[in-house]
A and B are shown apart, each in its own frame.
Chain A
Amino acid sequence: MGRTLAQKVWDDHVVRRAEGEPDLLYIDLHLTHEVTSPQAFDGLRAAGRSVRRKDLTIATEDHNVPTTDIDKPIVDPISRAQIDALRINTKEFGIENYELGNKEQGIVHIIAPQSGLTQPGMTIVCGDSHTSTHGAFGSIGMGIGTSEVEHVLATQTLPLKPFKTMAITVNGKLPVGVTAKDLILAIIAEIGTGGGQGYILEYRGEAIRALSMEGRMTMCNMSIEAGARAGMIAPDETTFEYVKGREHAPKGADWDAAVAYWKTLPTDDDAVFDREVIIDATKLSPFVTWGTNPGQGAPLSANVPSPDDFTDEVDKKATEKALEYMDLKAGMPIRDIKIDTVFIGSCTNGRIEDLRAAADILKGKKIADGMRMMVVPGSVRVRLEAMAEGLDKVFLEAGAEWREAGCSMCLGMNPDKLTPGERSASTSNRNFEGRQGPGGRTHLVSPAVAAATAIRGTLSSPADLVGSN
């Protein structure tokens, strides 16, 4: 019987397989950052262990760093101490760290693909659940906890049981104005936040093949919001084209050998998935969340649901609780929801293509009165590329803030936060209670919806702008 993409990549990384034990899996690339690593380095130190493969490990400063005044010392002493700890640890253990101010600094899931470190057929881990992003290249990218970070540092392996596989086939073409973000939000609403538990997802079909690498990264990034530790897309010419020429990409004969290997990875025709989900791309429209988990989403054109719309008691209660927290009335049009802050950025939508999409809509327009809009590039490289294209001017002239690179308002652990009761339209990945700051309310949206919303002041799609302004 044939094998799936996930099974092939998995099998090629098994160091040891024994009855009754998890597989011992080799890790090709270990990404680290300031938040989930200090306790792991302390563990190594306490046990007198070293880092097995410094040359397969990289660090960056992204989660807790400010996105303004980065030339000045970090004001918050606790954040500063955590950054200092990363600098001390990476120096002591011999790991390259892209410090704040370095031209390679940025969000961990943006810097590895952009430098060519992320390639097809790899195993990539990081103490961050959005490591699933790297699956866009046909790799197994997985988020891990701090104990596992320590394990990988010490051994370059992880003991893991094989996952089940789920095919998510997206047939047809996405309608104009519908993006990868709308698609993944619709998929999560369909299978639920727990639907992917125990699975590696593989996104397939015509609509997936048509996506750029940036769009594919957005899709795979949010696999974890459907409960799946990893999501993958088979490598193809789009993938090879993206990787080729980047500084860590294979060169010469190595390139040819790599491409020959990568071409063997796509799922065999006779492979069988444990579960299959089929989505019709042609029926999709811009999609946003109304609740407090990423599965609580609906088309922008819909109304806010009522607890009575659900038969399951757990869903009913969850909806009631979400509406109360979000301060929304059941039945109101989602388009009428008034937004205070628009955030464009994060490992989900902080890449150059995302900034271009938003700038396209904002060009020559102004954001609504009283609106706060923050545009935060995912990396220094993205920032410089955007500035070379003049996108920063578009954002500034529209009335938005143009920031330095980092995780920023995605997760409320740096100065960029919502205040209690403040409502955002955010291109990030999580709308949990308080995620963007205590008491803050988050609606997850695509970059295009974020830009249109900033102009109109209520949740809007670019199509809503026609005839206005």
Chain B
Amino acid sequence: METFTVHTGTAAPLRASNVDTDQIIPAEYLKRITRHGFEDGLFNSWRKDENFVLNRPAYQGVSVLVAGPDFGTGSSREHAVWALMDFGFKVVISSRFADIFRGNSGKQGLLTAVVEQSAVEQLWKIIEEEPSTPVTVDLEAQVITAAGFTTKFEVDSYVRWRLMEGLDDIGLTLKHVDEIRAFEAKRPSFKPTTI
């Protein structure tokens, strides 16, 4: 995983709440067995509307998404994170994220920055008035800045550390394989097995 410290890029406002992962990428795209190339499926149904924010010329090349509350609800599909990242997003800002989506993002290196809804409204105003405004997300300081506006954001401390170090979870866990083995030796015999 790439390390993440500070990211600066332009941002798109997504004025919708409860953006579920079926909207982020419909099930049809989940039949693929590869891990890349999901950018064509991102917001597939909404992108058919030429006025959808990501279709507007002013928001081409964005890497930060500023969304309404409860972003990423519903299905556990990690394809939603892959699609956002394949499209070029590095950061999603919202006042609330669904648990599984936020977990998946942390594994892949997509930063989910939690701010107050009032800060979301401020950012929407700034990037709607001037879409070319650079938005800077500083993971070390946990601060977002845009056109003189500054807000702190929340992120899980362990995820933050992993993102800043670019660490792979499985590698970290396998360091503790002795403890896993010791736990397994004590599991009760009544626990079921599949074969």
Contact = CB atoms under 8 A, between A and B. Distances in A.
Contacts of A179: none
Interface residues of A, number: 86
Contacts of B81: 145
Given A38-B33, A96-B195, A314-B17, A129 B74 contact: yes
Contacts of A15: 176, 179-180, 183
Interface in A124-150: 127-129, 143-148, 150
Contact of B172 (A52, A129, A148, A159): A159
Interface string A204-246: 0000000000000000000011011100000000000000000
Contacts of A257: 188-190
B99 A154 contact: no
Contacts of B133: none
Contacts of A67: none
A227 B74 CA distance: 8
A56 B194 CA distance: 6
Given A29-B192, A155-B173, A432-B20, A78 B73 contact: no
Contact of A145 (B103, B158, B195): B103
B147 to A, nearest CB: 23
Nearest to B183: A15
A79 interface: yes
Given A117-B194, A155-B173, A413 B31 contact: yes
Contact of A55 (B34, B180, B194): B194
Given A39-B34, A147-B78, A159-B172, A433 B99 contact: no
B45 interface: yes
Interface stretch (B5-13, B22-30, B84-92): B22-30
A49 B117 CA distance: 43
B194 A193 contact: no
A26 interface: yes
Interface of A: 15-16, 20-22, 24, 26, 28-29, 35-36, 38-39, 42, 47, 49, 52, 54-58, 63-64, 76, 78-79, 81-82, 85, 96, 116-117, 119, 122, 127-129, 143-148, 150-151, 154-157, 159, 161, 193-194, 197-198, 224-225, 227-229, 248-250, 254-255, 257-258, 261, 292-293, 295, 314-315, 317-318, 321, 411-413, 430, 432-435, 438
20 contacts: A15-B180, A39-B78, A49-B170, A55-B195, A81-B33, A117-B192, A147-B108, A147-B169, A154-B174, A155-B177, A156-B180, A227-B99, A229-B100, A293-B20, A318-B16, A430-B75, A432-B22, A433-B45, A434-B23, A434-B45
Interface of B: 15-18, 20, 22-23, 26-28, 30-35, 45, 68-70, 73-79, 81, 96-100, 103-104, 107-108, 117, 156-158, 169-170, 172-174, 176-177, 179-180, 183-184, 187-195
